[in-house]
Amino acid sequence: MPKLTGNCLCGAVSFEANGDIQMQGNCHCTDCQQISGSNFATLLFVKDKDLKITGETKRFEHSVDSGNTLTKDFCPTCGSQMFGGNIGRPGMTALKAGSINEKDLIAPQFNVYVSSKTPCTILDESIPAFDKMPG
């Protein structure tokens, strides 16, 4: 049985991830705020080899401060953000908590880019928080 399953709002794109979740956390950077349309993004990282995607996605690429190019794959029909990647660090894909069915498995381990968090966002004090991305 797959460990994680999920789909976009319209159902055209779905996925199964069978391996372990490598890490998961909340990102409060302005890029994540803009692309998610929300206060922050909760990302769950899985290995590409563990991930099976069904359906076609469209890709947006953008470069960030670190010099890396990030990819954002979304459903071309409903616009749901589905998969995040980093061309400089291949082999890993970020799933979005909002598209995952197994809600019990969503347990962020850290908050990053809290320097740009919205003032109304209350952080979980029991997990580490970083102003930017920890080096």
Residues that bind Zn ion (CB under 5 A): 8, 10, 12, 27, 29, 32, 75, 77-78
Residue 126 CB, nearest distance to Zn ion (Å)? Answer: 21
End-to-end CA distance of the chain: 36
Contact assessment for residue 77 and residue 62, using Cβ atoms and an 8 Å cutoff: no
Q: Which amino acid is located at 106 in the chain?
A: I
Residue 33 CB, nearest distance to Zn ion (Å)? Answer: 8
Residue 78 CB, nearest distance to Zn ion (Å)? Answer: 3
Which CB, 49 or 54, lies closer to Zn ion?
54
Which CB, 78 or 105, lies closer to Zn ion?
78
Q: Which residues contact residue 31 at a Cβ distance below 8 angstroms, ignoring those fewer than 6 apart? A: 62, 64, 70
